[in-house]
Amino acid sequence: MMTRRTRCAMVVVALAALSSVARANDLADDVKARRARVMDALGPDAMLVLWSAPSERYSLDIDYEYRQDSNLYYLTGITQEETILILMPGNAAPRREILFIKDKNAAREHWTGRTLTREDAAAQSGVETVLTMNQFDGFVAAILERAAFPPLTEQDTTRFRDALGAGRARVAIALEARRGLNDPLTAPLEFARRIRDRFVGFQISDATEVLTNLRMVKTPYERQTLIKSLDISSEAQMAGMRAAHPGAYEYEVKAAIEAVHRARGAVSWSYPSIVGSGPNATILHYPGGQRQMQAGELLLVDAACNYGYMSGDITRTYPIGGTFTPAQRDIYKIVLDAQDASAAAAKPGATLQDMHKKTVEVIKAGLLKLGLITDTTGDQYKIWYTHGSSHYIGIDVHDVGSNTRPLEPGMAFTIEPGIYIRESALDALPRSAENDAFIERVRPAVKKYADTGVRIEDSFLLEENGLRRLSASVPRTMDEIESFLKKRPAATTAANK
- Which of 196, 214, 232 is the last residue in one of the domains? 214
Whole-number Å distance between alpha carbons of 204 and 189: 10
Chain-centre distance of CA 242, in angstroms?
Answer: 26
pTM: 0.92
Shared domain for 202 and 228, answered yes or no, is no
Q: Which helix (H) or strand (E) holds 98?
A: strand 97-101
Give the DSSP H/E element, type plus range, for residue 374.
Answer: none
Residues in the chain: 497
Specify whether 88 is located in the same domain as 227. no
Same domain flag for 110 and 238: no
Torsion on CA atoms 6, 10, 15, 16, rounded to nearest 10: 100
**pLDDT given for residue 17 in this prediction:** 45
What is the pLDDT at residue 138?
97
Report the number of distinct structural domains present in the chain. Answer: 2
Q: Are 400 and 337 in the same domain?
A: yes
pLDDT at 183: 75
DSSP 12-34: HHHHHHHHHHHHHHHHHHHHHHH
pLDDT recorded at residue 179: 61
Q: How far apart are CA 392 and CA 402, in angstroms?
A: 9
Tell me, what CATH number does 303's domain have? 3.90.230.10
Among residues 192, 214, 236, the one where a domain terminates is 214
Cα–chain center distance at 27: 18
Q: How many CB atoms lie within 10 A of CB 431?
A: 7
Q: Are residues 167 and 248 in the same domain?
A: no
Burial of 71 (0-12, 13-18, 19+ CB in 10 A): buried
CB atoms within 10 A of CB 433: 7
Looking at the structure, tell me whether residues 404 and 469 fall in a common domain.
yes
**Same domain, residue pair 119 and 235:** no
Q: Closest Cα partner for 280 from 268, 269, 270, 288?
A: 288
- Distance, in Å, from the CA atom of 384 to the CA atom of 379, rounded to the nearest integer, reads 10
Q: Which segments within 303-373 are labelled E, that is strand?
A: 305-307, 310-311, 315-319
Closest CA to 318 of 244, 251, 232: 244
pLDDT in tens, the chain (497 residues): 556 555 555 544 454 444 555 667 899 999 999 999 999 999 999 999 999 999 999 999 899 999 999 999 999 999 999 999 999 999 998 899 999 999 999 999 999 899 999 999 999 999 999 999 999 999 999 999 999 899 999 999 999 999 999 999 999 999 876 566 677 888 999 999 999 999 999 999 999 999 999 999 999 999 999 999 999 999 999 999 999 999 999 999 999 999 999 999 999 999 999 999 999 999 999 999 999 999 999 999 999 999 999 999 999 999 999 999 999 999 999 999 999 999 999 999 999 999 999 999 999 999 999 999 999 999 999 999 999 999 999 999 999 999 999 999 999 999 999 999 999 999 999 999 999 999 999 999 999 999 999 999 999 999 999 999 999 999 999 999 999 999 998 865 454 45
DSSP state of 280: G
Q: Are 254 and 291 in contact (CB under 8 A)?
A: no
Residues 239 and 254: their CA atoms lie apart, in Å, by: 10
Does one domain contain both 461 and 352? Answer: yes
So what's the pLDDT on residue 6? Answer: 58
* Strands 169-173 and 202-206, bridge-based pairing: parallel
pLDDT for 272 equals 97
My answer on whether 284 and 411 are in the same domain is: yes
CATH code, domain carrying 109: 3.40.350.10
Distance between CA atoms of residues 398 and 178, nearest Å = 20
Same domain, 472 and 451: yes
Q: Give the CA distances from residue 421 to residues 287, 377, 449, in Å, rounded to whole numbers and listed in that order.
A: 19, 20, 6
User: Edge to edge, what strands does the sheet with 46-51 contain?
Assistant: 129-132, 97-101, 83-87, 46-51, 169-173, 202-206
Last residue of a domain, one of 194, 214, 234: 214
pLDDT of residue 13: 46
Rg (the chain; Cα; Å)? 26
Tell me the CA end-to-end span of the chain in Å, nearest whole number.
Answer: 46
Report the alpha-carbon distance of residue 269 to residue 412 in Å, rounded.
18
Contact yes or no for 270/312 (Cβ under 8 A): yes
Range of the domain at 340: 218-496
132 in the same domain as 265: no
Residue-level pLDDT at 256: 98
**204 and 280 assigned to the same domain:** no
Q: What is the pLDDT of residue 16?
A: 46
